[in-house]
């Protein structure tokens, strides 16, 4: 029966062929149509409840595993399948990187029409208790303590949570012991479903932020200082920052190695570092000692204020620019072999930004990506402009999920 004529939900038996981007299993319905299956693993035979159907594919979820993969694991969290996070808990933690590598190699070949290097490696850390940043929803109070929850899977609803196995001990302590009079001091009314960003600085000290937070409390409670090597980076719960501090130094090391390789080979110089989508100036602050001139470009004004703090008191010429990256690139001629670092959102580089880069004198780009699909898309455009892939690494910052960060070094 054609997909669009099913009356949902429908249950059928399917064989899972592989995992695809997003962590779903790939299967085929009778007749050959593709079905993406939540909770399925390669090699398994499953009873699958079809939940949605489109012209060319359907989606479903596993309701029973008939033939189980040796890599299947018992989910550690009682909220698995209800909470919107950690959708790979059914896959053995030790096997997740292997599956992620297979998915990304296939993505790259399909989208960019090129193979990832044989030496491509995915760095990983602890599979549990690693996440130092989260967003929770306030559900009221009980016995003088705040109650919090996470958004449900594929829903804006909320499931209550008392502890989470991927959060740091500091964040779990916050979930257990936070008291409304302290957290919401200065507010006349606290709405239910108010979202809080919570951030553990690596020492167990938790900063937090919510919309409508009084300015005095914001300055007092939302700011954090994170130590990366010998460098203190100032950030806050109100802006984006990496959510796995234990693995972050490995990414920093890889980026510094890429910079050193470029300067030593003559492909780049120590004249100028340009950090686009710079956020709080994280990479620029950690690389400032290597360059005579540093420019950060960030459209978020609060991030820019943190960047000014993080790059203050050091040598060289420092510019912190508040502008969309694509606008700055179009208006500013880069006529020296500068080192360019880009760390765009999941949507990847805006077309105007990519065009401006390839038309400039920049011949070395360090591209840090939180979405391998848009990275592969952008790489294909760089390659057409004469750039080659010199180095590729992955970083499993979010164990128990299908998300992967990647770093490419591109040169021409």
Residues 6+ apart with CB under 8 A from 180: 141, 144, 145, 146, 190
Q: Tell me the C-alpha distance between 265 and 24, whole Å.
A: 42
| Confidence category of residue 54, pLDDT binned at 50, 70, 90 | confident
Separation in Å, CA 3 to CA 9, 20, 38:
11, 20, 18
Domain boundaries, the chain: 3-72, 97-126+246-411, 133-236
Q: If DSSP codes are grouped into helix, strand and coil, which group holds residue 32?
A: coil
Q: What is the mean pLDDT of the chain?
A: 93
Distance of alpha carbon 385 from alpha carbon 355, whole angstroms: 9
Please give the pLDDT value at position 171. 98
- Tell me: pLDDT of 246 over 80: yes
Summarised one tens digit per residue, pLDDT across range 375-405 is 999 999 999 999 999 999 999 999 999 999 9
Query: Does the domain formed by 3-72 have CATH 3.30.1310.10?
Result: no
- Stated pTM of the model: 0.93
Tokens representing residue 129 in the block? 């208790």
Angle in degrees, 0-180, between the axes of helices 372-384 and 93-112, rounded to the nearest 10: 30
- Axis-axis angle for helices 351-359, 372-384 (nearest 10): 40
Q: Are the C-beta atoms of 60 and 35 separated by less than 8 Å? A: yes
Measured CA to CA in angstroms, residue 100 lies from 127, 169, 401 at distances of: 14, 27, 10
pLDDT of residue 107: 94
Q: What is the pLDDT of residues 206-235, one digit of tens each?
A: 999 999 999 999 999 999 999 998 899 999
CATH hierarchy code of domain 97-126+246-411: 3.40.50.150
Q: What is the pLDDT of residue 154?
A: 80
The predicted structure's pLDDT at residue 3: 54
């Amino acid at each position: 029966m054609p997909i669009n004529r099913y009356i949902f939900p429908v249950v059928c038996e399917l064989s899972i062929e592989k995992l695809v981007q997003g962590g779903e299993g790939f299967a085929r319905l009778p007749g050959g149509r593709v079905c993406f299956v939540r909770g399925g693993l390669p090699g398994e035979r499953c009873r699958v409840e079809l939940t949605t159907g489109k012209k060319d594919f359907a989606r479903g979820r596993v309701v029973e595993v008939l033939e189980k993969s040796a890599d299947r694991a018992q989910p550690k969290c009682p909220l698995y399948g209800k909470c919107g996070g950690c959708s790979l808990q059914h896959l053995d933690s030790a096997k997740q990187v292997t599956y992620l590598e297979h998915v990304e190699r296939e993505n790259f070949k399909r989208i960019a029409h090129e193979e990832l290097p044989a030496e491509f490696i995915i760095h990983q850390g602890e599979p549990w208790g690693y996440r130092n940043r989260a967003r929770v929803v306030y559900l009221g109070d009980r016995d003088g303590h705040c109650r919090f929850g996470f958004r449900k899977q594929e829903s804006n609803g909320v499931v209550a949570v008392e502890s989470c196995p991927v959060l740091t001990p500091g964040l779990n302590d916050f979930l257990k012991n936070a008291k409304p009079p302290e957290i919401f001091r200065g507010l006349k009314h606290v709405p239910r479903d108010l979202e809080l960003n919570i951030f553990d600085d690596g020492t167990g000290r938790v900063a937090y932020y919510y919309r409508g937070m009084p300015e005095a409390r914001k300055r007092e409670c939302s700011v954090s200082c994170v130590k990366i090597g010998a460098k203190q980076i100032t950030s806050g719960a109100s802006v984006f920052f990496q959510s796995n501090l234990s693995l972050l130094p490995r990414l920093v090391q890889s980026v510094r190695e890429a910079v050193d390789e470029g300067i030593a080979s003559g492909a780049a110089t120590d004249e100028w570092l340009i950090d686009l989508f710079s956020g709080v100036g994280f990479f620029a602050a950690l690389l400032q000692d290597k360059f005579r001139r540093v420019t950060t470009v960030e459209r978020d004004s609060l991030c820019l204020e943190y960047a000014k703090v993080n790059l203050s008191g050091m040598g060289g010429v420092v510019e912190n620019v508040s502008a969309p990256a694509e606008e700055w690139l179009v208006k500013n001629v880069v006529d020296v072999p500068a080192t360019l670092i880009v760390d765009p959102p999941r949507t990847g580089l805006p077309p105007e930004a990519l065009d401006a880069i390839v038309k400039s004198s920049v011949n070395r780009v360090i591209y840090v990506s939180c979405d391998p699909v848009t990275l592969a898309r952008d790489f294909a455009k760089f390659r057409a402009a004469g750039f080659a892939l010199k180095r590729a690494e992955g970083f499993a910052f979010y164990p128990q999920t299908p998300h992967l960060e990647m770093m490419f070094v591109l040169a021409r």
